[in-house]
Amino acid sequence: MLVLALGSCTVERQVSLTFGSDGEGLDGFMCKDPAGQFLLDRAKDGDGGVRTGALVVDFVRLGGVPGCRTGQLVKWCSTHECKPLRQARGCVPVTLPTVTPMMPREALRASVLSAMRQVQNTGVLDDAPDEFVIVRLVGSLESCEALTAKPEAVELPNFDKAQLLGCAYSCPVLLDRVDQDVYLGFETLTVQCEQGVRICSDGQLQWQP
């Protein structure tokens, strides 16, 4: 009986996704396109308002445990199938800030972090996958309804690259075993990083022209 009782009980854990205490991982939401426009400005409507977007959390199966750096991940995914788990996508509506001219980068970071905190403590998945994944968070102007898998659909909807607002991702992690918050970040050395956001949000994490 004791053995059965032991076997029947489950361990309940909780893992938080974070960008760091000061929003260090938000660089992927402060990218500009090749024309020099912040991706966040895509949310502006013609009336001077801001459109509501969505934060999409995907758990990307890697088929292994590659390194954490962007280059390592991209190389890994060029030879492996890196694919978001269909049943594990989470989506939260969010309104991200627009960028004012001459806005200091740290102020922008704080503004984005403040906006992100609208969804503080929002659950995105009740049972994390029992395998190594990377957690990816994509900001998009598309609605959660549009980005959530339809029952009849085999694949998850792809992001409209023209409506991307930003992206961040974690290192490969086994969420059932991790003992800390999972840090989401984005590696870039320049603000002209729309290409990185495209790769980050791609369904296969492949290089996007």
Partner 1 sequence: MLPALLLFVLGADGPAVVVVSATAPALATRAAQTPELPVVLVTGALPDAPQPAATPSTEVLVEARRAWVGADFARCLSLLEDDGRVTRALEQEQRHTAARALAWRVACKLGARQGDGARRDAEWLAALQLPLPEDVGVMTPEVEALLTSARRAVDAQPRTGLVVTSPVTNAVVAIDGRPGACTVPCRMALAPGTHVVHLSADGYSPRAQTVTVAAPELSVELPLSPADPSLAAAQWHRRRAAGEAFDAGRAMQLLSVSLRAARLLVVEPSDDAGGVRGALAVDGVVQARGERDDVQALVRDLLVRGKVFEPTVPLWKRWPFWVAIGAAAVASGVTAAVLIANRPVVTRVELNP
By CB under 8 A, tell whether 14 contacts partner 1: yes
Q: In the bound complex, what is the minimum distance in angstroms from residue 25's beta carbon to partner 1?
A: 9
DSSP type of residue 177 = T
Pick from 176, 186, 166: nearest CA to 54: 166
The footprint of partner 1 on this chain (CB under 8 A) covers a number of residues equal to 41
Tell whether residue 11 is a contact of partner 1 (CB under 8 A): yes
Q: Does 176 bind partner 1 (CB under 8 A)?
A: yes
Interaction pattern, residues 180-199, with partner 1; x per rule: CB under 8 A: -xx-----------------
Single-letter amino acid, residue 147: L
CB of 101 to partner 1, least distance (A): 26
Strand (E) or helix (H) holding 169: strand 164-169
Residues 112-131 that bind partner 1 (CB under 8 A): 113, 116-117, 119-128, 130
3-state secondary structure of 207: coil
b/e map of 63-74 (b: 16 or more CB within 10 Å)? eeebeeebeebb
Of residues 132 through 171, those in contact with partner 1 by CB under 8 A are 135, 137
Choice between 149 and 195, CB closer to partner 1: 149
**Least distance in Å: CB of 146 to partner 1?**
20
Residues in CB range of 32: below 8 A, 6 or more apart: 38, 39, 191, 192, 193, 194
Place of tokens 């004012």: 100
* Region label for 67, one of left (φ > 0), alpha (ψ between -120 and 50) or beta (otherwise): beta
Q: Which residues bind partner 1 (CB under 8 A)?
A: 2-3, 6-7, 9-19, 23, 55, 57, 90, 92, 113, 116-117, 119-128, 130, 135, 137, 175-177, 181-182
